[in-house]
Structure 1
Amino acid sequence: MVASLVIGIIFLVAGLGLRYWINRRKFYRRSPMGAEGFSSYESSVFIKLIERVGKWIAYALIIFGLLSLWVYSREKKEKSSPNTEIQNPR
């Protein structure tokens, strides 16, 4: 039960951190005119590809983290509420 909470928090923070880091790199790569500066065409293509893949990985981490937190909340609800079934006497 606690493992899903810890995993959820770790994956959520890692996904948000990865998104922040990628966006920060992209922001600081821009010139005052708004154009991105690369040393060559190849580095431009490679860096943009890696950033695109990194964003998808970050989205997957965030979704997995949120799902783990949801599983934790469901487990906590099930554990805290007693199973009160009323049986019909026959």
Structure 2
Amino acid sequence: MNPTLFLSTLALLSGFGLRYWINRRKFYRRSPMGAEGFSSYEKSVLISFLERTGKWIAFILIVFGLLFFWSYSRQKKEKEEVVLIEKQNPK
């Protein structure tokens, strides 16, 4: 397996997984009235900051995953072009 494809898959899965996990925690923390429940102000500030930071990290992972996937597709296309040129012009 190509390392670029592996890194692409790993970054995309971890990015989407992190976003899912954060959004799920946020969903289950809500009360029936729609307000988030925290036991203290400090926990509210800390958890909100960590979730915001986690979402940015997830976004960066998704972007890197897409860039790695694009790089893999370019490498594959160039390799196919070289093989095609070698078939057309045998030595």
The 5-angstrom pairing of residues 10-89 of structure 1 reads: 10-82=10-82, 84=85
Q: Number of aligned pairs?
A: 84
* Structure 1 residues without counterparts, runs of 5 or longer: 85-90
Aligned to 2:89: none
Alpha-carbon RMSD across the aligned residues, in angstroms, is 1.3
**Secondary structure of residue in 1 paired with 2:8:** helix
| Deviations, residues 3-50 of structure 1 (Å, cap 9, x unaligned) | 000000000000000000000000000000000000000000000000
Distance 1:47 1:8 in 2: 29
TM-score after normalising by structure 1: 0.90
**Secondary structure of residue in 1 paired with 2:58:** helix
* Structure 2 residues without counterparts, runs of 5 or longer: 86-91
Q: Extract structure 1 runs of 4+ deviating beyond 3 A.
A: none
Distance 2:50 2:4 in 1: 29
Q: Report how far residue 81 of structure 1 moved.
A: 1.0
Bigger proportion of residues as helix:
2
* Aligned residue identity for 1:13: L
